[in-house]
Structure 1
Amino acid sequence: MRILLTTEFFLSGQSTHVLDLAIQLQKLGHPTELILTGIHTTLFQSHYGPQLKKAGVVYHNTNNKVRLNQIVRSFQPDIIHSHSSTIFDLTKSIAQQNRVPYVVTCHGLGFSHPKYRASLAGAEQIIAVGPNSAAEIKDRFEEKIVIIPNGVDIERFTPAKKETKLNVYYVGRLDWSKVEPIKKLADAVAQIPNMSLTIVGNWKPPVEAEFMPWQTNIEKLLGRANIVVGCGRTAREALAAGCVVLLMNTRYDGIIDHQLVQEPDFDFSGNQGRFRFKRLLEDLSSLAANRKRIRRLQRFSRAYAVENLSSREMAQKVLAVYVQAVSSLRSKTRINLTGSMGIPRSYKVNRPRF
């Protein structure tokens, strides 16, 4: 199957997820190309672009509609898969102009907004990264929603020799909504003897902590880290690297353990607010006082990631969605063609109107 992925590229877990998916699909023997309608970091040219080339993934940087159609006609994909909500409509347009089925992935929340309705309605299948993302659009699109959690490369992210010092790493793409939670984290760490905080991100927040700029080879840091605070892809990568993970974004959801992952509404957003921020001090103090618990949680993290978060298995599940999408469009095309030749109108398949 020939696969065309579309996205914008930022320093974010979502963007690196798309690159990982492209590489895994290519490894599985499916020619994959990538359209980047915008690249918002110079690190792409120095690190991420060469990574794609090494894997044999061709990428294009353009948002010009004429050029996009030329790429589609030249590559002749069987499926187009969009990951950035900002270009859902653009993907819908080029897919329908070239009569290629398209799939979208809803990363996060907010897709019940009317501005996404047409592009979601036109998609043959919708991938949601978790139950909360799916629930938001279930009323309109239940029949075409498939939940596939994002995966990580469990061969790249592996445990290494862990640090002897209990340093807490906050890793993530920062914006102002995360500053207050990070301050709460810094306050908690400051109250625990022999524990320190390092923030790894795209800019330094105004808190007392060591700062490291964005790390393109974050697997090295995570491999040796004991405790990581973050959400989304950071949390998944940290689990794979055998870290204790405290799930936090704009709110705090606690330590990822066997109990939390069994909750029916569990996701990696870090925005549910299962606990107040004062729980951070309690959780970190408990960890600092019990190294055996840290080791148990680290073993759980790695085992959970291997069983549930492999990006290779994720890519195989995504491929099954592509097959269904292609089959769905072909069925509609056959029925519509037959209906136009005299079959009663009631047999035609029409797109739902919203």
Structure 2
Amino acid sequence: MEKLRLAIFNTQPPHLYYGGVERRIIETAKRLQNQADVTIYSGTKAGFKTPITLEHVKIVPCKSTDNLFPIDNWFYNRSLTKTAEVYNSDIFEAHNVSGYKIPDKLAKINSKKPFVHVIHGTLADEYEKSLKDTHQSIRNKLANRFMKYQAKIEEQTAKKATCIVTISKYSREKILNYYNVDESKIRIVPNGVDIKKFKPLKDSASKKQSKSDEDISVLFVGSLIPRKGLNFLIEAAKKIVKQSPNVKFKIVGDGPLKNHLVDSLKQNSILSNFVFLGNIKEDALPDVYSSADVFVLPSIQEGQGIVLLEAQACGKPVVAFDIGGINEAVCNGETGLLVKRGDSDALADALTTLLSDRSLRNRLGINGRKFVSENFTWDKCATGMLNVYREALNSKNAL
């Protein structure tokens, strides 16, 4: 059977950024090389200026900027639409609001080729959640204005798509609530984890046995942005360090809130309990997960949360708010502990429960590894996406 020609659109080059969207794009593309010739079109960000081939996947730059979203996204989409080779593809896959002008261009040239819109976390939902934060900086308020505008673009793109793919039942529900699209167009294909890469270290058990209570640590991995809820973690940490003064909170990732977070930690006299590790390459992440005792993700909005899957794949118990797609990615009481959204005291109590009980940590960690291995792998994700492509190509509703 002849390979299908697949074009994937994402503003950020997936080989240079390590967010959930970028991981999904790279991991699924690698696994589809026998069924599809995949070309990823990304913006000229982080120094990406020359086309490359990565494990048989072509990545092509489209002129953009390194300025903050949505300025970079606007330049990228303008350049993408003018890239003639894009339209040689059999099917198009756009993530969030990348490639939003492609459906109009296809209609203009009277093309019936299918357009698949992948929505991770619904922007309209994220915007609504952000309004609940009554103590926003001017920068955050401006960012929310842009987000509202982008949510409108996401809605318009979804309505024009042949098929919509999302990552959880929660995100599907929000797409229907906010965007009023045809329910029959939506397919759920969850994110995954490379369970061969993200796994408990062979020597992790002996390392744990040699640990003293003074060496215990909590890990966070993610962007330092408002919806990740790190302000709640700081409030929880204030309570935790009173009982365990030597506990360390390791923060992996970077973002616009870093200086604000550091100032807050200084004001609360707990900066010494936090270690900011910055961005870490994906190949190093398994070691980072395995070195921690507990993983925490205090997000107030998530479509799913790949980092929760990665932590569980590494055999770590997780703590998070009981929101969105998170309660589909974590089995409360079995692989981790979920608490009421925004409740810093409950977050502190859940973390303290795990930090003080090694046997509970081990049990939840074992369960988490099994849960993720059975339900969330990139192989499953790639197979799910291939089925979507085939369905879209056969659809009578193609653009």
TM-score w.r.t. length of structure 1: 0.77
Q: 1:295-314, aligned counterparts within 5 Å? A: 295-314=362-381
Tell me which residue corresponds to 1:158: 199
Q: Give RMSD over aligned pairs.
A: 3.2
Tell me which residue corresponds to 2:169: 131
8 Å Cα contact 2:218-2:250 kept in structure 1: yes
Is 1:196 matched with 2:202?
Answer: no
Tell me which residue corresponds to 1:212: 277
| Greater mean deviation of Cα atoms: 109-118 or 153-162 | 109-118
Tell me which residue corresponds to 1:182: 233
Percent identity over paired residues: 21
Is 1:284 matched with 2:325?
Answer: no
Tell me which residue corresponds to 1:121: 159
Is 1:90 matched with 2:163?
Answer: no
Partners of 2:32 and 2:79 lie apart in 1 by 25
**What do the CA deviations read for 1:26-82 (whole angstroms, capped 9, x no partner)?**
2x542211011353x45x79xxx99x7341211111035477542224xx3221100
Tell me which residue corresponds to 1:340: none
For residue 223 of structure 2, the aligned residue among 170, 173, 176 is 173
Tell me which residue corresponds to 1:104: 117
Partners of 1:281 and 1:90 lie apart in 2 by 45
Q: Name stretches of at least 5 consecutive residues in structure 2 with no aligned partner.
A: 63-75, 126-150, 209-214, 266-270, 300-304
For residue 237 of structure 1, the aligned residue among 310, 314, 321 is 310
Partners of 2:327 and 2:239 lie apart in 1 by 14
Aligned length: 313
8 Å Cα contact 1:188-1:280 kept in structure 2: no
Partners of 2:279 and 2:322 lie apart in 1 by 17
| Greater mean deviation of Cα atoms: 237-246 or 92-101 | 92-101
Deviating 4+ runs (over 6 angstroms): 253-256
8 Å Cα contact 1:6-1:35 kept in structure 2: yes
Distance 1:192 1:22, change over 3 A: farther
Tell me which residue corresponds to 1:70: 84
Partners of 2:327 and 2:347 lie apart in 1 by 8
Partners of 2:295 and 2:22 lie apart in 1 by 21
For residue 3 of structure 1, the aligned residue among 6, 14, 17 is 6
Partners of 2:390 and 2:380 lie apart in 1 by 16
Partners of 1:94 and 1:16 lie apart in 2 by 28
Partners of 1:332 and 1:289 lie apart in 2 by 56
Query: What is the Cα deviation at residue 274 of structure 1?
Result: 4.3
8 Å Cα contact 2:81-2:102 kept in structure 1: no
Q: Which amino acid aligns with 2:193?
A: V
8 Å Cα contact 1:80-1:95 kept in structure 2: no
Tell me which residue corresponds to 2:331: 258
8 Å Cα contact 1:34-1:60 kept in structure 2: yes
Give secondary structure in 1 for the equivalent of 2:28.
helix
Give secondary structure in 2 for the equivalent of 1:182.
helix
Tell me which residue corresponds to 2:135: none
